[in-house]
Amino acid sequence: MRMEYVKASSILIINLIFLVSGMVFKVSETTSWEVYYYELKISFVNRGLNDYGFTLDDKLFLIFSNTSIQKTCILEARPRVKKIHEDIDGNLWAELDFPEKIGPGENFTANIVFMINLTIRSLPHVSTYSSGSIFEIPMELTNYTSSSGVWNYNSTELSYIAELATQIKGNDTNVLRIISKMVGFISERVEYPYGEELRPPQYPNQTLPKSSLRGRGDCDDQSALLIAMLRSVGIPSYLQTGGIISNSYGITGSTWDGHLHIYSRGIGWHGWVEAYVPPWGWLPVDITYGYSSSEPLSAISKSASAREFILQSEKYSNIDYIAKSREVEERIRKSNVYVYVEENVSKTYPSSNSRRLSNYELIRFVILLILLIAIAVLASRFLKKMSLATC
């Protein structure tokens, strides 16, 4: 996938993209799409006595994917995009051109702005009666049933979860019915930790410990547990993350012993399972949004993916994102660097760029004025010729 990159100073090009966005983001006339702007700013402050050298992880910013329900492009990147990386799960990352290091008392800020065009996902009507069996799952999807990373169900630590999944499945081969049973099991056993928005991700055996078989876990934790169970019985699945777009969402807080400060507005981050269910294909399975035990299939039909405008972000199938997250946390906590993250989603272009937009408006006004003067001159000459002709 090619990345559209527009330098911050190229305001005429940026606004040209705005003008032709209807052509760039061509969609069905019967589908409702909404345009938003996502801005992410990250500041690194060195409060130590030694230099802080930037790592590749510090420099990477996610490039939101283009799909059938999401069209995105980068409008700004400061510093510039130096290189594009692709991880083993197909996620694209922009490496920004950071300096090599910052000295004691110094700070450095990077930011990126996306224009995103979203529509709500349309799902087929599903029922256990119409669902296919596990024998109808294509062989080429075996990669999505592997025991690895976060869902290493063959390991000593997670083997009891695979045993639970086998018990819940029993002799059933109906894929949708098996999923419904497992969703119901997790919903009954795992409590959602309300008020702990900045809690770190955890492995399935931490979400549902073997000793008690009662646990706690948020959206991605419960999703990871479900994925481990589904994969262990041969049902392809992976973790999809994304942000629900809404003015009602916002977080202000700190974690990592005060080394990470977060200010977020207009978006609420979420995680859910994508499971393969024949004959329909990939379907969202959302345990913590809209699910009701009285409606077994509501995890699909009332999922956030089917009801909200969502900015899809990372997809995790093979990467051990928990180990990676803990590695970064440990490195930052042991350093004298403090990280400040600000993100905002809105319907208007970020206010920090209002001066540049005003300059562009001035350019448009001058061009319009020149056109009006030219038209006036031509009209004057035409009228003069007409008056001479009547004499």
Q: Which of 301, 316, 331 is the last residue of a domain?
A: 316
pLDDT of 7 above 50: no
User: For residue 347, is it within any domain?
Assistant: yes
Please write the tens of the pLDDT for every residue from 149-178: 999 999 999 999 999 999 999 999 999 999
User: For residue 177, is it within any domain?
Assistant: yes
Same domain, 161 and 197: yes
CB distance 217 to 225 below 8 Å: yes
User: For residue 388, is it within any domain?
Assistant: no
Query: Which of 89-93, 157-161, 188-192, 193-197 shows the lowest per-residue confidence on average (mean pLDDT)?
Result: 193-197
Instruction: Provide the pLDDT confidence category of residue 8 given band limits of 50, 70 and 90.
Output: very low
Q: What is the model's pLDDT at position 254?
A: 96
Query: Which of 179-193, 235-249, 364-378 shows the lowest per-residue confidence on average (mean pLDDT)?
Result: 364-378
Per-position DSSP letters for 213-248, written without gaps between them: S-EE--HHHHHHHHHHHHHHTT--EEEEEEEEEEEE
pLDDT of 368 above 90: no
User: For residue 262, is it within any domain?
Assistant: no
CB distance 317 to 144 below 8 Å: yes
Q: What is the model's pLDDT at position 370?
A: 78
| Backbone phi, psi, residue 293, to 5° | -65, -25
Higher pLDDT, 189 or 19: 189
Please write the tens of the pLDDT for every residue from 75-85: 999 999 999 99
- In whole angstroms, give the CA distance from residue 349 to residue 14: 11
- In whole angstroms, give the CA distance from residue 186 to residue 266: 30
Same domain, 83 and 28: yes
- In whole angstroms, give the CA distance from residue 303 to residue 311: 14
- In whole angstroms, give the CA distance from residue 335 to residue 106: 14
Same domain, 88 and 46: yes
Of 26-40, 247-261, 366-380, the range with the highest mean pLDDT is 247-261
Over pLDDT 70: what percentage of the chain? 85
Instruction: Provide the pLDDT confidence category of residue 24 given band limits of 50, 70 and 90.
Output: very low
Q: What is the model's pLDDT at position 59?
A: 98
Please write the tens of the pLDDT for every residue from 113-147: 999 999 999 999 999 999 999 999 999 999 999 99
Q: What is the model's pLDDT at position 381?
A: 72
- In whole angstroms, give the CA distance from residue 338 to residue 328: 13
User: For residue 128, is it within any domain?
Assistant: no
Q: Pairing state of beta strands 337-346 and 101-102? A: unpaired
CA-based nearest residue to 121, from 301, 263, 243, 297 = 301
pLDDT of 361 above 90: no
Same domain, 112 and 186: no
Same domain, 109 and 150: no
Please write the tens of the pLDDT for every residue from 237-276: 999 999 999 999 999 999 999 999 999 999 999 999 999 9
Bridge partners (DSSP) listed for residue 295: 292
The token pair at 270 is: 């979420």
Same domain, 167 and 78: no
Q: What is the model's pLDDT at position 79?
A: 98
User: For residue 263, is it within any domain?
Assistant: no
Same domain, 277 and 358: no
Specify the number of domains making up the chain: 2
Same domain, 275 and 343: no
pLDDT of 41 above 50: yes
Structural domain range at position 273: 134-247+268-316
How many H helices and E strands in the chain?
Answer: 11, 15
Same domain, 283 and 334: no
Please write the tens of the pLDDT for every residue from 64-101: 999 999 999 999 999 999 999 999 999 999 999 999 99
Higher pLDDT, 230 or 19: 230
Please write the tens of the pLDDT for every residue from 275-316: 999 999 999 999 999 898 889 899 999 999 999 999 999 999
Q: What is the model's pLDDT at position 125?
A: 96
Q: What is the model's pLDDT at position 293?
A: 85
Same domain, 26 and 95: yes
Same domain, 163 and 86: no
Higher pLDDT, 195 or 227: 227
User: For residue 305, is it within any domain?
Assistant: yes
Q: Average pLDDT for residues 326-330, to the nearest whole number? A: 97
User: For residue 182, is it within any domain?
Assistant: yes
Q: What is the model's pLDDT at position 365?
A: 59
- In whole angstroms, give the CA distance from residue 138 to residue 185: 27
CATH classification at residue 158: 3.10.620.30
Q: For the whole prediction, is pTM greater than 0.85?
A: no
Same domain, 35 and 140: no
Q: What is the model's pLDDT at position 18?
A: 31
Q: What CA–CA distances, in Å, run from 160 to 29, 143, 155? A: 50, 22, 9
Q: Average pLDDT for residues 16-42, to the nearest whole number? A: 60
Instruction: Provide the pLDDT confidence category of residue 364 given band limits of 50, 70 and 90.
Output: low
Cα dihedral 280, 282, 288, 294, rounded to 10, equals 10
